[in-house]
Amino acid sequence: MHPLLPSLAAACLYAAAASYQGLRLKQRSTINRRILAMLGVLALLFHASSLFMQMSAPSGLYLDFFNAASLIAAAVILLTLLACVRIPVENLLLLLFPLGFLTVLLDQFMPAGTSMPINESPGILAHILLSITAYGMLTIAVFQSLLLLLQDHQLKHKHPSGLIKNFPPLQTMESLLFGFLWAGWGLLSLSLLSGALFINDLFAQHLVHKTLLSFFAWVVFAVLLWGRHQLGWRGHKAIRWTLAGFCLLMLAYFGSKLVREFILHI
């Protein structure tokens, strides 16, 4: 089967899920969680099928710029759908379903980069999996911080929209943000540790800048979590630190892949 069909199916289901959720929030009516979850899971299954067909190669795992973006988006949506079973984070999906829609179509229709297939040891593959999971968890934290920023702004100006009225209390939203940050920081720590253990030559593999930027992002998140624990950081300060760490992390991964695959062609 050609990956075009599951890609289009995933995009349509993501669009349907986002439209359903957005319409219900606009009408200030209750969202049927089963319908939302069903649409999200079906979209994710088609998304995963498309990714499998595009990334599988006889010589290894093909992971170019758009494959990586689509894979991380799928991981983020999967983690959020799993989290929805236990904690009230359904509102994150209103931002994540369009992300899935966009990345699955870009992966299908944009020209491929010059990335070579990955045929590495289990240790390297574990490092890649940890990295993707860490990026996914920290991406959820960033979206959570943006929703928290919107909620705080509207509550201060006393004109909450229908979307905000469906949010949990501000304190709960903030606690969820730091829960995601702790999980993402822990996974990022394991990712950096596995990279140090299993990657032999950073210079030969053009990974120095990626590793340094990822380490700087790790430091930013560590300072933020320390500030929360020791100094009670919250609100706008916590959001600014979250966005700063995330920008460093995305620059480390996507910035390096963009330059290598589309500018330097290596």
Percent of the chain residues topping a pLDDT of 90? 35
Beta bridge partners of 61: 56, 118
- Residue predicted with more confidence, 37 or 169: 37
Burial 133-153 (b: 16+ CB within 10 A, else e): bbbbbbbbbbbbbebbbebbe
- pLDDT at residue 216 tops 80: yes
Q: Residue 168's CB: how many other CB atoms inside 10 A? A: 15
Length of the chain counted residue by residue? 266
- Amino acid at site 247: C
What are the structural domain ranges in the chain?
1-119, 121-266
Give the span between the Cα atoms of 8 and 14, in whole angstroms: 10
Note whether 118 and 128 are within 8 A (CB): yes
What is the per-residue pLDDT for 208? 74
φ/ψ of 92, rounded to 5, equals -60, -30
CB 137 within 8 A of CB 180: yes
For residue 173, what are the CA distances in angstroms to 37, 85, 160, 162, 191? 21, 16, 15, 17, 27
| 171 within 8 A of 125, measured Cβ to Cβ | no
Greatest mean pLDDT among 11-15, 107-111, 207-211, 252-256: 11-15
Q: Model pTM?
A: 0.82
pLDDT digits (tens, 9 = 90+) for 68-110: 888 889 999 998 999 888 888 888 898 899 999 999 999 888 7
Residues 226-238, mean pLDDT to the nearest whole number: 89
